[in-house]
């Protein structure tokens, strides 16, 4: 009886130890599983938290104001507008003795130096000449030089105009004859002699006046009263052709 009870007690202890070992093993497995799950959850949580932290950090970004702009570059001053060109005037027409009277009016108004006579030119041949001298006395000095060189045919042009005080040495019908005369007088020592087409004015005379404005226009309108048909008007500033006389 004693032995049987003792054997039964040992078998019971053995069975209990076996069950406890099973429970310990199960408990250990659960602990390991929980640890693995906890680690996995922690890693997943960090991965999910990183974008959130990034977004939170993004919210913390503060945009700094732009640095104050430096002084604006100096703007070059606008150059003043050029003054409008002074207009030209045309005054006329004049014929016969009125041409000289009109020239006297221009001299009185101090416009003679800027006045150019405009006329229709009619060619009459070719001439050999000395360019206009500064005065009648200078032209007469050139005549004395011609006489000293044996040249006796000449004419001093005295009428007012671009050819006043020029000295004509001859007017010829053809260019070839004019060239021969030019070679002759140069051979005689007249180096300043020239040759050109000779033209004479044809028709009435008008004056182109440069450097004139409203004041001069009013003065010329007033001066036009004694002349029949003469008017003063603004005109393009064109170079007038020179007309020989």
DSSP string, 140-154: HHHHHHHHHTT----
Residue 175 to residues 125, 180, 181: CA-CA distances in angstroms?
A: 8, 9, 10
Q: What is the pLDDT of residue 46?
A: 52
Query: How far, CA to CA in Å, does 28 sit from each of 20, 25, 33, 41?
Result: 12, 5, 8, 20
Say how far residue 69 (Cα) sits from the centre of its chain.
Answer: 33
pLDDT at position 5 is 44
pLDDT score recorded for residue 212: 87
Contact 245, 158 (CB under 8 A): no
Per-residue confidence (pLDDT) for residue 155, from 0 to 100: 95
Three-state DSSP state, 185: helix
Output the tens digit of pLDDT for each of the chain's 245 residues. 444 444 444 554 555 566 666 666 676 667 666 666 656 555 555 555 454 445 445 455 555 555 555 555 556 556 555 444 457 999 999 998 999 999 999 999 999 989 998 888 788 899 999 999 999 999 999 999 999 999 999 999 998 778 899 999 999 999 999 999 999 999 999 999 999 998 877 889 999 999 888 999 999 999 999 999 999 999 988 654 444 44
**Residues 88/207, Cβ–Cβ less than 8 Å:** no
CA–centroid distance for 144 within its chain: 55
Give the pLDDT score at 43.
55
pTM above 0.85, yes or no: no
Q: How far apart are CA 228 and CA 95, in angstroms?
A: 10
Give the pLDDT score at 19.
Answer: 62
């Amino acid at each position: 009886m004693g032995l049987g009870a003792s054997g039964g007690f040992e078998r019971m202890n053995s069975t209990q130890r076996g069950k406890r070992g099973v429970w310990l093993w199960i408990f250990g497995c659960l602990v390991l599983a929980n640890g693995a799950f906890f680690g996995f959850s922690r890693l997943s949580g960090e991965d999910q938290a990183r974008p959130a932290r990034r977004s939170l950090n993004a919210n913390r970004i503060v945009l700094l104001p732009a640095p104050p702009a430096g002084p604006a570059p100096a703007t070059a001053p606008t150059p003043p507008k050029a003054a409008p060109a002074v207009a030209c005037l045309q005054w006329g027409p004049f014929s016969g003795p009125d041409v000289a009277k009109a020239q006297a009016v221009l001299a009185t108004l101090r416009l003679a130096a800027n006045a150019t006579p405009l006329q229709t030119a009619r060619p009459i041949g070719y001439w050999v000449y000395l360019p206009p001298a500064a005065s009648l006395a200078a032209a007469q000095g050139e005549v004395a030089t011609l006489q000293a060189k044996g040249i006796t045919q000449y004419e001093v042009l005295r009428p007012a105009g671009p050819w006043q005080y020029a000295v004509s040495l001859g007017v010829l019908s053809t260019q070839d004859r004019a060239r021969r005369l030019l070679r002759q007088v140069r051979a005689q020592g007249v180096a300043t002699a020239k040759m050109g087409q000779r033209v004479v004015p044809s028709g009435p005379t008008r004056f182109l006046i440069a450097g004139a404005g409203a004041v001069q226009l009013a003065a010329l309108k007033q001066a036009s009263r004694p002349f029949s048909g003469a008017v003063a008007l603004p005109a393009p500033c064109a170079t007038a052709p020179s007309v020989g006389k």
